[in-house]
Chains A and B, each alone.
With several copies, the nearest count.
Chain A
Amino acid sequence: MVTPNRVGLTKKDYFGSASTLCTGCGHDSVTLHLISSFYEMEVEPHQVAKFSGIGCSSKTPAYFLSGSHGFNAVHGRMPSVATGAAMSNRSMMNIAVSGDGDTASIGMGQFVHIIRRNVPLLYIIENNGVYGLTKGQFSATSDKGSLQKKGEINTLESIDLCLLALELGCGYVGRSFSGDAKQMVPLIKGGLSHKGTAVLDVISPCITFNNHEGSTKSYKFVKDHDQAIHEIGFVPSYTPLDVDYDHGTTKVIDLPNGSHLTLKKIDRDYDPTNRQAAFEVLHRARSEGALLTGLFYINPDTVPFQDVMKLAETPLVQLSLSELRPSKSALDEVMESLK
């Protein structure tokens, strides 16, 4: 906490304002993991832009990195804001926090399209299967058959945001549990290091409205059912890779910023660079009602939207008037052509 990292900041420098969420809310754990990740990655807060929509989950960005500018948008429309921001200043590291309501219901259209554009940001869904802030209605990620606090049964199929992201060509897709710091922190760091849109679906229980018996998003249910597909680790660029990795059991993935993800086998062999395999595993898990966590898919060669759009290296916001405004002769030329 008090040890400064190599950019001279202590963990406290990564805090935000005090949380106003319910004591025990999963979202507050995610906040802690984010703080650890940024601190350990030694990111300077002013180089980070935070984005969110509306909901308890979307309040999260207020609770970490008070040294970063944040944009708390309207409900479900944060991806567009983040897109505009990312295009205008490509030097920022972008972190977005949303909820399952904010993403899978009102935000579905924008979620799909930010993935399609591959805008570089880590998009975390704090997924609790309900609308917390409006007091516990089912969300679109609530599993069929899951019970509401008052006893009502969810009768609709849930949307699996990881499968959806995969289907849309997302180059970094993972799932975790707010209670699992060990898994979440490397997943966050990997996502922040990714060049395009990284989607992290985090089961983050709502202690007030969805933590009862019969809910498939309660702490108990998740703890009982969570199956990690591998043990994930993050090795920063300045730390030499351990040469002793057993390549039979540990996969190393190189990230664009020189850091690495290490994936240690648990029960099965899993290659997260094989998109087809990711589909298979996730579809099977879904049909069996299993809850898998880990990094399902990564495509380190992804091309971010700014490059697709052939944007200059210099962030747009740093261009001077003389760069932005063409010369007088240019205008004269246009005028001539209109005569």
Chain B
Amino acid sequence: MSVKVNDFSIHVATVNGSGSQSSNNVLMRAIFRMGIPVSGKNLFPSNIQGLPTWFTVRVSADGWTARRVETEILVCMNDQTYVDDVKALPQGAIVIHHDHMNIASIRNDVTSIPVPFSKIIAEACPEPRLRKLAVNMVYVGVLAEYLKITDEAIELAMAQQFKGKAKVIDLNRAAIQAGRAFAKGSQSAAPFPYKVESMNKTQGKILIEGNAAAGLGSVFSGCGFVSWYPITPSTSLVDYFSEYAEKYRVDQKTGQKNFAVVQAEDELAAIGMVLGSSWMGARAMTATSGPGISLMAEFAGFAYFAEVPAVVWDIQRIGPSTGLPTRTSQGDVSFAATLSHGDTKHICLYPGTVEECFTMAGTAFDLAEHFQTPVFVLSDLDLGMNFYMSDPFKYPDQSLNRGKVLTDADQEKLASSGRYVDVDGDGVPYRTLPGLKDRRGVFFTRGSGHNAKAVYTEKGTDYVEQMNRLSRKFETARNHVPKPLLEGSGKNKIGFIAYGSSHEGMREAIHILQNDLKVSVDYLRVRGFPFHQEVLEFIQSHERVFVVEQNRDGQLLSLLKNEPLLVRELPKIESILHYEGFPLPASFVIENYKRLTSGQKSAAA
């Protein structure tokens, strides 16, 4: 058996709250530090301690970072799950496990490497109460030895993970070395079939979660006010915002902040505060997940109708209801797009990479302020809470688009316009901010009927006029949202459409189609709603289109179906839907592609 280099996955099964997060991060970062592309997917329970959790490290010289279903190496630290975990392995996999687990009694087509973890840690860690945490470092050591991860890389990873805390590092180092020692002693004659070899493919790259990127992006795009109510998996976005803002947006002398983060009493209050802040003129945002989106429904309609900017990050998790709070999903796509009663439509963004989480933080504010409307940024648990490799983010040096705001200086416009007048023919009116002295520009913001001058009205004609302008405004937004991104020549007959965190799986699937199945396809990644012109054209110009989504009901497709330009195109569009809560693997796309096209082929044959 030859040795596979820099191309395999490690699946670590542990118990939640046992400190395995640090070990896994050290493992992943050490490989990254050796210049090898790597990604980590954390599958954790909705619980603080005791329930099973898994972490998958994918090592890929070619830089594929999507989740893989197959695992080459399994580490079993969890008594509750190891039987099932072992059963799920492909043939020939390697199992590193507690020595009290009898792997052979489960399967004999996998390689069992029993490790006396308890014994090793008892020796390596003098303090009993620390052993429960440190034991996880032992498997890092075992793996490091087998896989040839260098001590230097481990040290760098530890320094970063433990922020240089020497005592903690010493403790963990001891555990790792003990693991290494064990592996060295027990290594068989045959070489371990997987190993890493230094490369330079991560040079200059960063490893970051989408929520960190989004929080950072918000700090750098002038966000002044954040209100939110904690909810998995959105909480870390606000935590990162606070962390970076506390560092870079506090007056060094006075200790005063030029931002505020308010933990609201619930999501209704969170979005309410955001509206109050945006109305005052600050850039304001909130972050939440499904249940919070439901609770924001009433205010979302208010903001749409009264035309108040707001940025809402929805880090999607599995619904309906509480659902599976720690599983990923794209299940709020259609709900967010028309959130609230009555006729409403909201601008939505679909970041697909951590870099886009960073840049779209700014785009969202620009669009919200330009169009004076809420903007929903639909990320998800996979993108938000897992680590992705990326080029460092570019400093955003363009100025902010604060939209059409009139001040006391704008005498002419104040005289001629009115709050809801379509002066420019693009459906986007001019607004003013509280504090304006010129009474001609002072108005009352309300969710009840108002005419172009912002005066209360119950006249049907005024209402229709305003609603039609809102439609026009939305139409204007179509070509202001980020364009879709095309991969492929654009001239193929088959087109795939996907969005958000499906990107990594899609990239890889397209590659496999092209290289292994020899099928040339185009792949368009949609990045915003309303759909950019080019999305419609892509569908029009392809013979067959697959829309890949992570929900049951084909939600993005249901939005596409409302596009008048597409009424004749629908018969050629099919859904590929993945909704079991784990990140989309390329293999799922391939399998479904085969399934959907096989009938066709045989029909053609």
Contact = CB atoms under 8 A, between A and B. Distances in A.
A contacts B: CB pair < 8 Å: yes
Interface of A: 17, 20-23, 44-47, 49-51, 54, 56, 61-62, 66-89, 91-92, 105-106, 108-110, 112-113, 117, 131-135, 137-138, 140, 208-209, 306, 309-314, 316-317, 319, 321, 323-326, 328, 330-332, 334-335, 337-339
B444 A83 contact: no
B17 interface: yes
B266 A109 contact: yes
Contacts of B231: 134
Interface in B529-585: none
Q: Which of A74, A109, A323 has the most CB of B within 10 A?
A: A74
B298 A74 contact: yes
A interface, over-half SS? mixed
A319 to B, nearest CB: 6
Interface residues of B, number: 92
Contacts, number: 261
A69 B443 contact: yes
The 9 A-B pairs at the shortest CB distance, nearest first, are namely A80-B272, A84-B276, A84-B273, A84-B277, A85-B276, A106-B266, A81-B276, A326-B248, A69-B434
Contacts of B259: 316
Contacts of A70: 444-445
B64 interface: no
A23 B277 CA distance: 35
Contact of B17 (A22, A137, A309): A22
Interface in B299-330: 299, 302, 321-322
B222 A134 contact: no
30 contacts: A21-B48, A46-B442, A49-B434, A67-B439, A68-B434, A69-B444, A74-B298, A77-B269, A77-B298, A80-B268, A80-B273, A83-B273, A84-B227, A84-B275, A85-B280, A88-B282, A89-B435, A110-B269, A112-B265, A117-B262, A208-B49, A309-B260, A310-B255, A316-B224, A317-B281, A319-B258, A324-B258, A326-B220, A330-B247, A338-B206
Nearest to B455: A17
A337 B392 CA distance: 11
A91 B433 CA distance: 13
Contact of B322 (A54, A105, A117): A54
A50 B244 CA distance: 33
Contacts of A312: 251, 254, 256-258
Interface in B204-259: 204-208, 212, 216, 219-225, 227, 229-232, 235, 244, 247-249, 251, 254-259
Nearest to B259: A316
Given A84-B276, A325-B222, A109 B248 contact: no
B12 interface: no
A133 B160 CA distance: 27
Contacts of B395: 328, 331-332
Interface string B420-443: 000000000000111111010011
A256 to B, nearest CB: 19
A323 B257 CA distance: 11
B281 A23 contact: no
Given A69-B434, A310-B257, A317-B282, A325 B220 contact: yes
Contacts of A317: 224, 280-282, 433, 435
A131 B216 CA distance: 25
A44 B446 CA distance: 23
A120 to B, nearest CB: 13
Nearest to B264: A80
Highest count of chain B CB atoms <10 Å: which of A49, A113, A335: A335
